[in-house]
Structure 1
Amino acid sequence: MIDHTGIGVSDMARSAAFYDAALGALGLRRVAQLPENVGTDGIGYGVDYPVFWIDRYHPHGVKQHTAFAAKSRAQVDAFHAAAVKAGGTDNGPPGLRPTSTGYPPGYYAAFVMDPDGNNMEAVFRER
């Protein structure tokens, strides 16, 4: 089980605006900032503690993929809309993914490229 993860970004202010909107749609918020209360070096998103960090310490532009769990199809839809509105690029609109391409049944997801070209996903797994 992963406790937390993160990525490097090239522009903290631009990426913070993107992740504030995209992750906010999933119920995540800034819970930690480095330096404290400023967030120019790193920002941690979560509910009670940071589970996803953006920072200027790690290399940016390595084209990573991160999938965030959504609680409903509506959250996936909201994530996609907020992320695109905040400067992300659509990389797969919200919808059920076909089992014929290897997705399990009930895999409802949306994909957005962040400002640094990382593929961010929100997924709701219907069971």
Structure 2
Amino acid sequence: MRSYWGDASRLTGFMLAFWVLAGAISCGLHGFSGVELTGFSLVICLIPGWLALIVPAVYRAPAAALAAVVVGMVLRLAFCGVGIAVVSWLRPDLGPKPFVWWLVGFYLVSLGAETYLLVRRVKLQAAA
């Protein structure tokens, strides 16, 4: 599980750095509610990323990284669908369109970062 904590902290750090950049842009476009939009998007995409990183940490099979990418995509899609519904229900004043655009951005960034970390882990295990 040691590699899980390292990868999870790297994913968290990368996503927080992206959130600062996206939050600044969104604040300029939408005011303080833009920071809220990006914060919701961050949480909705970060939690499934953490969960997907558990798969290769627990299962040491060669296909574990591929399974983790697939699990991550499915979890992230499910979290995004539920997140859109919940945020639209709790905060209808934010408007669904800007939230969906920020969510798509965070989805792509988190998927790219998670895939990079998983491929990196496979390369490190193959070299060892």
TM-score by length of 1: 0.32
Larger Rg: 2
Higher strand content, 1 or 2: 1
Q: Which has the higher contact order (CA 8 A, sep 6+)?
A: 2
Higher helix content, 1 or 2: 2
